[in-house]
Structures are given as structure tokens and as C-alpha cells.
Amino acid sequence: MQELILVNEADEVLGYADKLAAHMGAGSLHRAFSVFIFNAAGEMLLQRRAEDKYHFPGKWTNACCGHPVRNETTCDAAERRLGEEMGLQVPLREVFSFIYRAEDAQTGLVEHELDHVLLGETDEHPRINTAEVAEWRWISSARLQQELGNDPHRYTPWFPLAIEKLFAQGLIEPI
């Protein structure tokens, strides 16, 4: 059982909850992270979530996402999860956080997260964990803009929100 860290809007710890329980009903606000990896050409690393993920299966998203657990820093959790999902060891830096809520119509689960966004750079190719990741690819900003415009439902709901904030803060090229 993985216990997630329940937080308030100021990211202060309120308690802990089982991972699945935190995603049921209205969803409990909990700490999470989203990792964005770029290569030297400025392309972003994307993954398509495995089909048996408990929510938003088969959707394209950023390099990896996850939740820190009790007594784990967000950055340590993000670096751990990047290794577990993508087989990459990349130093990360946190750039901002935001709150969002999204319902998965397919599973009935709810994401209600205070999502910490972290960035890293590498030209290494991932060695994916197929239990977590169906496939991966590098994508240019122009191609990503085209795909998000043509078929946004191929992507997880938090992904375009984070992209918009990365752009607004000048951390990525406009898309």
C-alpha cells in the first residue's frame, strides 16, 4: 500500500491516505510531481502511459509523474520515479507548482493534486519499464502544438496545464 501525502493549498501536510482512496469520490488534495525532460535539441521527452495504469491509461504525457511518500522529498521522489519508469538518472530542479482536479471518465477516479513541476536535461534514450510506460518519444514544440490542437484527448489532463505554465514563465519555447 502506498500512502500519499495529503496537503492543503499551501502544501502543508494534513495527513496521509492510501493511493487509491485519495483518488476516489471527490478526490483528496495530495502532493504530486510532474517531470519534464529536454534534450540538447530542445525536444521534450514524452511517454505514453501503459494500458493497465489505474487512471488515464494509454494517454501521452510528460516524462514521468508520481507521488512522494511519507518522509521523501518531492525531488527525491521525482528522481526515483524517473529511474523506475524511464531508466534515467537525471538531476532535476523544481520550477513551480499548481493545483488541478481532473476526473477520468474511463475509470471513475479523480486526480486532485498539488503538482510540483521539475525539469531536467539529457540526451540519453530511456530504458522504459513496460509495466508503467507503453512507449516514448522526443517531440519538438511545433509538433506538440499541432498534436495538442488536433487531438488534446490523447494527452493526460495535467499535461497541457503544465505546458501552459512552463510557457508563461519562459521556461520553454512557445507552442
14-35 residue pLDDT tens: 999 999 899 988 899 999 999 9
- Cα–Cα distance between 58 and 48 in angstroms, integer? 6
Active-site residue (options: 79, 85, 111, 113)? 113
For 89, counting Cβ atoms within 10 Å of its Cβ (0-12 exposed, 13-18 middle, 19+ buried), the class is: exposed
CATH superfamily label, 3-168? Nucleoside Triphosphate Pyrophosphohydrolase (3.90.79.10)
Domain boundaries, the chain: 3-168
| Residue 75 annotated in active site | no
Question: Is a pLDDT exceeding 60 seen at residue 175?
Answer: no
Whole-model pTM: value is: 0.94
Give the confidence band of 114 by pLDDT, cuts at 50, 70, 90: very high
Looking at every residue in the chain, the average pLDDT score rounds to: 93
Output the pLDDT for position 174.
59
Active-site residue (options: 64, 65, 79, 85)? 65
Per-residue pLDDT tens digits for 87-99: 999 999 999 999 9
Distances (CA, A) of 139 to 23, 88, 94, 146: 30, 18, 22, 11
| Residue 3 annotated in active site | no
Other Cβ atoms closer than 10 A to 159: 22
